[in-house]
Amino acid sequence: MESAPKVNGIRKQDRESVVAERSHRRPVRKSQTEADVPSVLDSWSTQAGYKLRESGQTSRTYKRGAGFWVAARMLKLSWSGNDCTLEAWIKPPIGKDIPIESGGITGVAPRMVARTHVNALLQMYGQPPIL
């Protein structure tokens, strides 16, 4: 029986599944801030047009856009003391979540718009942008 072709000792099917899994991870940015997180989020969401979807004592999830033609842009920020964890992604109507980082051809325009919005929030916290 003939085995699948290998590159660097990895079968093509295994390599493709790892690449597919990696390409759909949400970017997570961990940082520290002295800012009042809820106040900054309120200001940013108003400026960027994101709507609050979920809210807890130490976490908020925001969404902008909906429908078939405009993929939803999502942001979740959790905090504990000075520690913050930010996740940002595109939620297409069909398929898996798409990370907002640059690279690849899937969802180029919505990723670029989402990065602009998220980078404005990161700037408010004095953090480096997502490229």
Establish if 77 belongs to a structural domain.
Answer: yes
Helix, strand, coil abundance in the chain, percent, nearest 5: 30, 30, 40
Residue range(s) defining the domain that contains residue 110: 26-124
E strands in 12-91: 28-32, 51-55, 59-64, 72-80, 83-91
- Mean pLDDT over residues 5-22, rounded? 46
Instruction: Give the mean model confidence (pLDDT) for residues 97-114.
Output: 88
The chain-wide mean pLDDT, for the chain, equals: 83
Say if residue 4's pLDDT is above 60: no
Residue 102 in contact with residue 111, Cβ under 8 Å?
Answer: yes
20 vs 50, more confident:
50
The structure tokens listed for 4 are 């699948």
Residue 6 lies in a domain: no
Task: Give a yes or no: residue 65 inside a domain.
Answer: yes
Domain total for the chain?
A: 1
- What pLDDT does 67 receive? 65
In-domain check, residue 3: no
With respect to residue 4, please indicate whether it lies within any of the assigned structural domains.
no
Instruction: Quote the pLDDT of residue 107.
Output: 84
Q: What is the CATH number for 96? A: 3.30.310.80
pLDDT of residue 69: 76
What pLDDT shows up at residue 17? 39
% residues pLDDT > 90 (the chain): 52
In this prediction the pTM is: 0.77
In a domain, 17, yes or no: no
> pLDDT (tens digit, 9 = 90+) per residue, 23-72?
457 778 899 999 899 999 999 999 999 999 999 999 999 999 886 777 89
Is 113 among the domain residues?
A: yes
User: Per the domain annotation, does 18 fall within a domain?
Assistant: no
Bridge partners, 99 (sequence order): 89
